[in-house]
Structure 1
Amino acid sequence: MKFGVIPVGEAIGAIAAHSVRAESVALRKGQPISAELASALRAAGIETVVAARLDHGDVSEDAAAGGLAVTLAGMGVRVEPPFTGRSNLFAERPGILLVDSRTVDGINAIDEAITVATLPTFKPVVEGEMIGTVKIIPYGIESRLLGQAIGVAHSGRPLEIAPYRLRRVGAISTLTPGFKIGIVEKTLRVFGERLAPAGAGLVAASACAHATDDLREELLSRIDEVELLVVFGASAIADRRDVIPAAIEAAGGRIEHFGMPVDPGNLLLVGELRGKPVLGAPGCARSPKENGFDWVLTRLLAGLPVTRRDITAMGVGGLLMETVSRGQPRAGGAPDETTDPDEEDER
């Protein structure tokens, strides 16, 4: 592509790089310069313009952006027609966005003329939400470069929306003497609000003593009627041998991982019982604010596995906002005396 200052008389067919206004003439940036426009510009005393002209074999910005965007789009993704060298991608359904960073990074490394930007992978999205954009910087690029970008897109994983699949969710609340029932009621209400965007619902909610044998029996009595089970402990899980993990294993289940490098959310437990996911919720799951519990819950609702390796990879970006109710625990010092003594460690 040629770019620079050219005489108006030689600009017919070129693309204006900047807007020009003179007398009754209005040339817009990105507008092809026709013979009529060139004549009007000369009549207005304009002798030169800054313009771009595609070489043989170049691909226009819109055609390149649209072609690459279509190649990147996978299941559940819609591509809008390109404009000014940009083509946007949108979610066709609610779910979890899956992005292969190697594919995106590989395309962006080809040439500065080609850019791809997306939302973070595993982000929950709603129908109609923009999830990515392809922008071609100049007015056209070499077909060779576009071919390389499309090749990388074909060889990698496309952008996809993993739909929510699990609908029937259960919750067990463990209780200690004096534990406020109001906390349980608030927790279940917040949990129901978390499930709603995924089209899931709380179909079973029960309570038992915060003891291994009692929880074991409750797990076995609930697991067959749900697709996912969450345990909200009256006391935060302190160790793999604590009540909640011990009860899961006593029921015949297994622990995938305890703890996560996301704060709030450190004390999350991921387990499995009879082929179904069981979560030991951290204390912060009682709050509607985003925390590590959300990161795991939404993936599971979409039927995506959450392994130890997945969890240990969450550290970068895992330092989330402090909440006023947590009393700034990372700052150290004495506990906030206004904190409700019944509120457990919210990690």
Structure 2
Amino acid sequence: MTQQPEGASEPHIRRAGSSSVLREVKVEDAVGMLLAHDLTQILPGAFKGRLFRKGHRVVPEDIPKLKDIGKEHLYVMELGAGDLHEDDAALRMAAALAGDRIRYGEPHEGKVTLKSAITGLASVAKEVVNAINGLGDIALATVATHTVVREGEAVAATRAIPLIVPEAKVAEVERIAARYRERNAGASPVDVRPLRKLRAGLLTTGSEVYSGRIADKFGPVVTAKLAALGSEVAEQRFAPDDRQTIVNEIHYFLRQGYDMILVTGGMSVDPDDRTPGAIADAGADIVSYGTPMLPGSMLLFGYLRDVPIFGLPGCVMHDPYTSFDVLLPRVLAGDRIVKEDIVAMGYGGLHRC
């Protein structure tokens, strides 16, 4: 039987079936003992962070600092066989899940944040996330798969719920992650896919723009969206609302060898909107004309001799996030968009701008 330290209370936590013990000790009696968890200091408007790290051995000089953050008692812990401290549990989970383009640092208060090492598209296995969160005592929070993440942004976070975690739970996380890799050619459950740098041809339709009566608003917006993801509009051309002229311009872009073709304007169901029919006449295999997402329901997507081609509705000009912002990163990541991908955009696809 473990002898209780002088000045300690009765065991505060003893997990069922475990020999681990967490003891509450008066601050004055804690000198020489190891802290069971991180201690945070908050100075309103100035600082919030770790004052003492888990495992820190308390010295007499620490007592005033501990009292300054409101600590009259501390917790010291003796881990039993088969148990893990929260930090160790979170760190092992992060190591099991992270892919090659994920970086993470030290645990903090039982949490490890997994961050993207590049700007790319999050690749998160939903079934793995659900399986892990069904185990209890541990948690995994992630962004949705196909989310664009910038370098240094969080993709996921592992978390231990109690201070003491059964090692078997973490070992099961490691098995779940290993099985996923075996079934998916070595791919990791949490990773980021790089975006290709593509050169696009941009065709802006509309007689009012072609004639110079109004200024083009599509070009700057579309150019900025591509540039933000590392691609570029290599050339922009203009066409009136004439079906054959639009077809000719699309074929021109195809001859130039551009990686992607973007056609803007004339995407509604009005009789004088020629763009959807012109894209079809150009020979495109249309995956979908219309998406179950708002804004952006009138977007057209297809392939012309394996070159992705978009018909962009007017909302792309003025709404910050549309169906174009969903599909463009996936094309840049190399995905072959199919009808099922379009259908799936309805769930969570209402964006209140």
The bucket for the TM-score relative to the shorter chain is: 0.7 to 0.9
TM-score, scaled to structure 1: 0.78
Rate the CA distance shift 1:256–1:59 in 2: closer, same or farther, 3 A: same
The unaligned stretches of length 5 or more in structure 1 are: 20-27, 323-347
Counterpart mapping for 1:13-92 below 5 A? 15=36, 31-32=54-55, 50-92=75-117
In structure 2, distance between residues paired with 1:47 and 1:220:
77
Rate the CA distance shift 1:31–1:217 in 2: closer, same or farther, 3 A: closer
1:166, distance to aligned residue in structure 2 (A): 3.6
Rate the CA distance shift 1:203–1:119 in 2: closer, same or farther, 3 A: same
1:190 and 1:288 in contact (8 A); partners too: no
2:89 and 2:165 in contact (8 A); partners too: yes
Moved more, 258-267 or 134-143: 134-143
1:231, distance to aligned residue in structure 2 (A): 0.5
1:310, distance to aligned residue in structure 2 (A): 1.1
Counterpart mapping for 1:171-210 below 5 A? 171-176=202-207, 181=212, 185-210=216-241
1:318, distance to aligned residue in structure 2 (A): 1.2
Could you tell me which of 196, 209, 215 is aligned with 2:246? Answer: 215
Q: 1:118 and 2:142 equivalent?
A: yes
In structure 2, distance between residues paired with 1:177 and 1:281:
17
Counterpart mapping for 1:113-152 below 5 A? 113-152=137-176
Amino acid at match of 1:272: Y
Rate the CA distance shift 1:181–1:55 in 2: closer, same or farther, 3 A: farther
1:263 and 1:292 in contact (8 A); partners too: yes
1:125, distance to aligned residue in structure 2 (A): 1.4
Could you tell me which of 245, 249, 260 is aligned with 1:228? Answer: 260
Q: Percent identity?
A: 28
Amino acid at match of 2:162: P
Deviations 1:279-337 (A, max 9, x none): 00011111261122111112112222222111211222211123xxxxxxxxxxxxxxx
Rate the CA distance shift 1:178–1:68 in 2: closer, same or farther, 3 A: closer
Could you tell me which of 323, 347, 350 is aligned with 1:316? Answer: 347
1:120, distance to aligned residue in structure 2 (A): 2.1
Rate the CA distance shift 1:92–1:30 in 2: closer, same or farther, 3 A: closer
What is the CA RMSD across the aligned residues, in angstroms? 3.5
1:166 and 1:303 in contact (8 A); partners too: no
Amino acid at match of 1:79: Y
* SS of residue paired to 1:15: coil
1:203, distance to aligned residue in structure 2 (A): 0.5
In structure 2, distance between residues paired with 1:78 and 1:284:
36
1:284 aligned partner: 315
1:257 aligned partner: 288
* SS of residue paired to 2:352: coil
1:169, distance to aligned residue in structure 2 (A): 0.9
1:17 and 1:50 in contact (8 A); partners too: no
Deviations 1:57-83 (A, max 9, x none): 212222221121122111321122223
2:192 aligned partner: 161
1:187 and 1:287 in contact (8 A); partners too: no
1:326 aligned partner: none
In structure 2, distance between residues paired with 1:215 and 1:281:
14
1:243 aligned partner: 274
In structure 2, distance between residues paired with 1:244 and 1:61:
58
* Residue-pair matches, total: 311
2:207 and 2:240 in contact (8 A); partners too: yes
Could you tell me which of 97, 100, 116 is aligned with 2:122? Answer: 97
In structure 2, distance between residues paired with 1:165 and 1:280:
21
Rate the CA distance shift 1:36–1:163 in 2: closer, same or farther, 3 A: closer
In structure 2, distance between residues paired with 1:33 and 1:173:
64
1:269 and 1:281 in contact (8 A); partners too: yes
Amino acid at match of 1:101: K
Could you tell me which of 13, 18, 21 is aligned with 1:2? Answer: 21
1:176, distance to aligned residue in structure 2 (A): 2.8
1:96 and 1:122 in contact (8 A); partners too: yes
In structure 2, distance between residues paired with 1:47 and 1:221:
77
